[in-house]
Structure 1
C-alpha cells in the first residue's frame, strides 16, 4: 500500500479525493492528509498564480515527508472584480479560512453589479510532486455566476453563492456526487487519475 499525501488540513478536500480514488477503482493507495502526519511549518502562499502556490505546497511537503504529495490551490475568480479574489480567495477578508467573512465581502463588493455582469469561475490548480522527481500541475475551471444571497448548506467556501452554468441550484445545494462530477476540483482530480494509477502500480 502506497501512502500519498494530500497537503491540506481541509477534511472536505480529503474526502473529495478519497471519493474519486474509490470511484476510479484505484487500489493500492492510501490517501492521508496533513492531520495524519507529524506537523511541519507551512510554506507561505506567495505565488501570483494558483499553479505556483500549489506546486510550492507540494514541493515543500515532499521535502518534509518523503511521501508522494498532491496539493491544490483553488479559489473563485469574479469577472466584475477583474478576476479577484483569485489566489487571495481564502483570505479575502484579511483572515485565512474565514469563509463567512470572505463570502460576505464578495457579496458586498458586488452589491451594485447587475445580474448579467455577475459571471465567475471556480478555479483549481492541482500539483503533484513525487519523491522520484516527477512533478507537474493540472488546471480546471467551473463557470457560473454569483447570486445575491447564500443558499444551501453543502460544500464550503463560496459554494453557497455560486450557481454553475446550466444549473438553478448553488454549488452548496448539489449532492457530493453531483459536485464531484462537474466541479473545478473534481475535474482537476480526474486529470490526476493517470498519475495516481501509475503511483499505485509501483506499490
Structure 2
C-alpha cells in the first residue's frame, strides 16, 4: 500500500486560518483534530491518501526539508530563518500576516536613532535572520536566543532590544516596548519537499495547484 502524502501544519494562529484553505482543497481532518483534549499529533483525513501532522511552527520546515512530510504550511519568517535548500515554496497562502520587527523600550526609543547603531544586543527566536539583517547594515548583532517571552528581555536586562513577530502591537505596548524598525513582512507559505515534488509529482502537483487556487492564484515571491 502506498504511503500517504503527509502535510505538516503548525499549531496556533496560522492553523485557524489554514483550515478553510485545506477544506477548499477538499481536505477535512478527522474529528480528533479538533479535540482540544487530544494529545495526538498525527491525523487521518477524508482523503485516504493524505494525512496531517500538527507540530510547532519552527518544526514544520524541518519535517518537510528532511522528507518526513511532503508538504507543509509555515510562515515566511521560518523559511528565512532556516533557509533550507530542500524546500520549495510555490504558493503565498495570504494568511498569518504580520511583520518581523525590532522593538525597544519606549524611554530608549525616545532618544535613540537606529541609523547610529554599530553594535546591538538583541533577544530573538530568529538569530540567523536577525544577524543577516544587521550585517547588511554594517551593524554587529549579539543575539540572545529565546523561544518565547521575548518582551521580558529588556525589562530584566537580558538585552536592550528584541526582534519578534508583531501583529497588532498590543503585546509590545503592554510591556513598555515600541516598534522601531520592520525587518520583513510575513505571511504563510505552502512548502514542498523538492525531492517529493519530483518523485511523487502525480500526488503532490495537484495539491499545489489546489492550494494555489484556494489562495487566489498567488505565487510566492
TM-score category (smaller protein): 0.3 to 0.5
What is the TM-score when the length of structure 2 is the normalising length?
Answer: 0.33
TM-score normalised to structure 1 length: 0.35
Bigger radius of gyration: 2
More helix by share: 1
